[in-house]
Structure 1
Amino acid sequence: MPAKVGAVKVNSVSASAIFNIGDVYTMNPRSTAKTYAGGGSFNTGDGIRVNLRNSNTYVYDKDKVDQPVTE
């Protein structure tokens, strides 16, 4: 279904971002990233209590490439 869009102001779009207005069949990213964080790092909510004592985050990755980016 065709989209009707009014005025749009874009201040900035980062190098790895995708900006689209209107109909799209598919959108593919051109970059990947790997995030390492310790236990309890991404918890959200009110009144969360995390007790981790001795927590370790292991970052060894033997295969090196998880999702190759191709053009």
Structure 2
Amino acid sequence: MPAIVGAVQVISIGSSSVFNIGDIYKVMPLSNAKTFSGAGSFNTGDGLDVVNYNSTTNTYDNDSVDQGNYFNA
């Protein structure tokens, strides 16, 4: 069934983002990334109380290749 979409305003979109409105068969991003972050890094909201006394982030990655997006053209 076709989608009916009204007015849409896009303020900004990242260079590796995917933006879709309506019916779609497949979404295939063309980039990937790995993010390392410490405890409590992505917390959002009002009145947060994050306690991290001795926190470290292990960024050692002994494999040479992670899951990629080889077949996305």
Q: Same fold (TM over 0.5)?
A: yes
Aligned positions of 1:1-71 closer than 5 A: 1-5=1-5, 13-70=13-70, 71=73
Q: How far is 1:18 from its partner?
A: 2.1
CA contact (8 A) 1:36 1:59 kept: yes
Deviations 1:22-49 (A, max 9, x none): 3102212111111111111111222221
User: Partners of 1:51 and 1:12 in 2: how far apart?
Assistant: 34
Identity %: 56
User: Partners of 1:13 and 1:47 in 2: how far apart?
Assistant: 29
Unaligned runs of 5+ in 2: none
Q: How far is 1:68 from its partner?
A: 1.0
The CA RMSD over aligned residues, in Å, is 2.3
Unaligned runs of 5+ in 1: none
Deviations 1:4-63 (A, max 9, x none): 445667676543222333310221211111111111111122222122111111101111
Residues 58, 22 of structure 1: alpha-carbon distance in 2 compared, 3 angstrom cutoff: same
Count of aligned positions: 71
User: Partners of 2:46 and 2:8 in 1: how far apart?
Assistant: 36
Q: TM-score, normalised on structure 2?
A: 0.69
